[in-house]
Amino acid sequence: LSEKFVEVGKSRPPIFAPEVVKGSVLHTEDLRLPNMLYAKFLLSPYAHAKIKRIDTSAAERLPGVVSIITHKDVPKVKYNSSHVPDAMTRVDEYVLSDKARFIGDRLAAVAARDPDIAEEALELIDVDYEELPFVLDPKEAMKPDAPKIHEDVDNNIALHLTNAWGDVKKGFEEADLIFEDEYYTQAAHPIPLEPQTCVAYYKSGKVEIWTSNQVPHRVLPKLSRIFNMPQSKIRIYQPHIGGAFGNKCGLSLEPVAILLSMKSGAPVMMELTGEEMFLTTSPRHPSFTKLKIGVKKDGTIISKEVKTVLDTGAYVSHGTGVLSAAVYSSFGITSLYKCPNHKMDGYCVYTNKVPSGAFRGYGNPQVTFPLESMLDTIAEELGLDPMDLRLKNAVREGDVDPISKIVIESCGLQECARRASDAIGWKMKRGIEEKGKGVGTAWLMLTSGVHPIMDETCGAFVKIFSDGTVVVTMSAPDLGQGIMTTVAQIAAEELGVSVKDVSVTRADTNQPVNRGTWASGTLYFTGQAVRLAAADARSQLLKKAAEILEVRAENLRIESGKIVAGEEPKKSASFEEVMKEVEGGEIIGKATYVPSVSSHIFGVVCAEVEVDVETGEVNPIQVVYAHDIGRAINPAIVKGQIEGSIIQGLGYALTECLVWGKRGEMLNRTFVDYKILTSRDVPKLVPILVETKDKTGPYDAKGVGEPPIMAIAPAIANAIYDAVGIRIKEIPITPEKVLEKIREKKSRT
C-alpha cells in the first residue's frame, strides 16, 4: 500500500518553470523601493597593501552621492562570511577591510542615486597605499619567511585538521605495494547566472533584507552579532534565485548594504557585475594533495595517508567548512573503500587571492580526484579491472562508516556500478585500443545527516485552506534545483491532494528555521519537516472528519481527495465539507525536524572520451552516471540535477580555471576568458537512478545536487589514460597538458 504513491515518484515540472521561461520571476534586482540608492565597492588594486589614508571627501561632494563608508565606519566585530556559526570557526573579516589582502578586497562602498554616479564617485576616493610583499602560492605561503597575511597567524596556516585510525606506518609495512603521488586541483568558479544581489532597508531600529542567499536563517545571527541588533529586528526575504552552486552560501553584500542604509536612511541595492563576481566572490579552493596508498597483491587496500592543502585565499571564510568536510566527512577519501589504517592531514592556507568558498561538492572533488586517479594506477599495476578493484574494497550495506560510526543503512554502489558499466559498454570498450578512444570510471560517496558542528534542524508549516487546498511554509531557498516542487509533492502525497493545489513559500527568516540549501541535504532535511507538518495537518483534518462521520479517526483514510471510512458502502466527506466545520476555516500543521540519522550517498561515473593526439583536445563522447537516490521524489528533477552537475564537472575537468598574473591580478575575469561549458559542449549524458529506499530520508530519498561533479574529473582522467595511456594529475586537463604528456610518453618510448 505505502508504495502506491500518487505524487511521490512523479516527474512534475518545477513549480516556477513557466515563470522562469517567460522571465517573469522576481529576482532581488527587480525590487524597487522609494528613494532607493545603488551601491558600488571600491576594490583594492593591490594584492597586499596597508591603507595609510583613505579620503572620501571629494567623492562625497559629487552630486547624487549620498553615503560613503570605509573601514572607519564598520562595526569593530570580526566575523566569518561562510554559513558556519562564528563561534565554530575562525573569524577574520570586517564589513570592509582595513588592510588590502587581495586585488579586489573591498575597501569602501558608495551609495548614490544611480549606479553610474556611484561608479564615478569611486574614482574620487583618494587612498594612500603602502604596498606589501604578497604570496599567491600556498606552498610558498607556508614557508616561514612568507609575507604574513593575518597578524595573528603563523606560516599563513589558518587551520590544520587531522583524522586517523589504525596505524598507517604498520599498514604500509604490511602492504605489498605502495603508491604515492601528488595531485593538483584548480580554482574554478561557481559563477551563477544571477549575480549576488542584495537590498537592505534599515529604519527605526529594524532592517529588512532581500537577498539572493542560500542560507537566510544562518546569516541572521551573524548580522545580529555584527550590528548588535536583536534577531527579531532583522528580517531576511529570499526572492527568486537564479542559481548559486555555493556562491551564495553565507554573508557577502548584506552587511555593506545594511551599513549604507543605516548611514543614508534609504534603501540600498547592491548588485555585482559579472567581473565583480569573479574578482570578489569565491571560487572553489585550489588544492594539492599528497596521497599514499598501500595495497595487498589481491588489491585489498591496507593503508592510506593523505595530506591535503587548501588555498583559502585572503580570508578563511568557508575554509573551516571545506577542510572539515574533506577530513571529517564520509567522503570517498575517508569512507568509500574500507581501509584499516588511515591518516589524513588537512591544511587551510592563506594567500593573497580572492577568498575561496563553497562550490557544489564542497571539498569532495579536491580529494576524490587524487583517490580515484590513483585507484586506476593501482588497478593497472595489479592487472585488475578498475571496476573490480573498487568493488572489492567498497563499503556495503550494513558496514559501519568509520567517520560517522553509523551503520550504512542502504548502499546502491554495486547496482550503480553494474548499471553504469552496462550503459557505457564497459566490458566492450575498456582497454581496447581504438583511435584515441577510452572509457574510465570514478566512484563517489558523501553523506547527509547529523552533523558534528552544524545544527540541521528544519521547521515547516502546512496550512489547509477552507477549500481543501494547501500552502507549505518552509525556508529552504530554491536555487533552481526544485525543492519548492518536491516539498509540494510530499505535502500533496501526505494529504492526498493534487500537487496543483499546493503552493510553497520562499524563504523568510520570520518563518520556521531552515538549515538552508547546501550539501545535497535540502530535501533530506526540509522534506522531512514538511512531511511531518503535513502529517500533523492530516491528523487534525482526520480528527475533525471523525467527528463529522462519527467514526474513529484511525479508521479514516484519504482517497482521491476525500476522507473515507470503512469498505463499501463507504462513509465519506470531502475536504471542503470537513473544513467547513473547522473554526477559522483553516488547519495548520507544524513540525520541527531534528535529525538524528544520516544517509550515505553513492554514485558511479563512467565516461567515454576521444583524445586528439595532434591537438591534445579531449572530447567527451558520453558520461553515464548512476546514482543511489534512495527514492526519487521527482525523477525529472533528479535527472536535471545530475545533468547539471555532470556538465559543471566536465568544465571542472577540462576547461575552467582562474588564472592570476604576477601582480596577483586575476587574468580571466569575464565569461569570455573564463570558459564554462555551454549547451554546444555537452556530450551524451546518461543519468541512471538506483533506488535503495533509505529509511532515514523523506519517503526514503537521499540527496543528489552535488554528487556527479565530485567524480567527473577523475573519470575523465582515467578515460584519457585508457584512450592514450597518459596520466594527468592536475586539472583542468587542457590540450597543452595533454600534448605535453603525449610528448613525454613518446620521448620515453
CB-CB contact of 631 with 527 (8 Å): no
Instruction: Provide CB contacts within 8 A for 57, sequence distance 6+.
Output: none
* Binding footprint of a second copy on the chain (CB under 8 A): 16, 18-19, 22, 24, 26, 30, 32-34, 203-206, 220-221, 224, 230-233, 235, 265, 455, 457-459, 463, 465-467, 469-471, 473, 500-503, 505, 510, 512-513, 583-586, 588, 590, 592, 594
DSSP 147: P
To a second copy, the closest distance from the beta carbon of 231 in angstroms equals 4
How far apart, in Å, are the Cα atoms of 456 and each of 478, 526, 597?
A: 17, 9, 11
Cis peptide before 732 (omega within 30 of 0): yes
Give dist(CA 8, CA 633) in Å, integer: 5
Supply the residues annotated as catalytic: 706
Question: Which residue, 85, 83, 82, 80, is CA-closest to 95?
Answer: 80
How far apart, in Å, are the Cα atoms of 57 and each of 61, 74, 109, 127?
A: 6, 18, 13, 11
Beta-sheet strands, E only, within 419-508: 437-449, 458-464, 470-473, 502-504
In our burial notation (b when 16+ CB lie closer than 10 A, e otherwise), range 470-501 reads bbbbbbbbbbbbbbbbbbbbbbbbbbbbebeb
Cis peptide before 569 (omega within 30 of 0): yes
CB-CB contact of 198 with 744 (8 Å): no
Give dist(CA 530, CA 503) in Å, integer: 13
Question: Which residue, 148, 124, 142, 155, is CA-closest to 48?
Answer: 148
**Alpha-carbon dihedral sign for residues 392, 395, 399, 401:** positive
Strand order through the sheet with 99-100:
99-100, 49-55, 126-131
Helix or strand (DSSP H, E) at 303: strand 301-313
CB-CB contact of 250 with 82 (8 Å): yes
Give dist(CA 543, CA 528) in Å, integer: 22
Give dist(CA 417, CA 715) in Å, integer: 13
Q: Is 238 helix (H, G, I), strand (E, B) or coil?
A: coil
157's grid cell: 596556516
Q: State the amino acid at position 56 in one-letter form.
A: T
Q: Which is nearer to a second copy, 585 or 661 (CB)?
A: 585
Q: Is 1 helix (H, G, I), strand (E, B) or coil?
A: coil
450's grid cell: 547529523
Give dist(CA 381, CA 295) in Å, integer: 11
**Alpha-carbon dihedral sign for residues 484, 485, 490, 495:** positive
20's grid cell: 522562469
CB-CB contact of 470 with 462 (8 Å): yes
Which neighbouring-strand residues pair with 599? 448
To a second copy, the closest distance from the beta carbon of 716 in angstroms equals 39
Q: Is 598 helix (H, G, I), strand (E, B) or coil?
A: strand
To a second copy, the closest distance from the beta carbon of 91 in angstroms equals 18
